[in-house]
Amino acid sequence: TGAFELRNGPLFIPGSGAANADTLRAMTVGLFFDYLGIRLNALRAEGKHIVLHWTFTDSRETYCLNLENSALTYRPERWSPTADASLTLARTTLDAINMAANPQQALMDAIQSGAIQVTGDPQKIYELFALFDTFSTKFNLIEP
């Protein structure tokens, strides 16, 4: 790959990257939340505190996702009495949202269609998803 880059420029395969559909399906929910933590833009998240309960209907798993101090953490099977919102959805719905060209719009569409059931403040969910970065898979390996 390094020799190819020196001769032709950075290698870019459309649709390639760490978060393709097969990779997302293979991740556990905990690993998926870790992935979201990597995508979190810490500067934009500064000073924000969001707590969300997640219930996945297909895997029967529950999680508490917490954004605090510009870090995204989660705890399986834990609930917080101060949660901003609770989401009930299938894991496949979450995968589809994150594979969409515009995840924020896909999230809103899923909530409006009933694919995601929300109790509490849905604005907190939108606020969290607005804090994620999307990374380019086209970058130099050899030359800056």
**Distance between CA atoms of 80 and 24, rounded to whole angstroms?**
27
pLDDT in tens, 60-104: 999 999 999 999 999 998 788 889 999 999 999 988 888 887 888
What pLDDT score does 76 carry? 93
Statement: residue 128 has pLDDT above 70:
yes
Q: CB neighbours of 12 closer than 8 A, spacing ≥ 6?
A: 137, 138
Q: DSSP characters for 50-80?
A: EEEEEEETTTTEEEEEEEETTEEEEEET---
Question: What's the rounded mean pLDDT across residues 21-27?
Answer: 82
**36: closest CA among 61, 18, 22?**
18
pLDDT in tens, 10-19: 776 554 444 6
Is this prediction's pTM over 0.85?
no
CA triplet 68, 47, 136: central angle to 5 degrees? 80
Is 118 or 59 the better-scoring residue by pLDDT?
Answer: 118
Q: CB neighbours of 65 closer than 8 A, spacing ≥ 6?
A: 33, 50, 51, 52, 53, 54, 72, 73, 74, 128
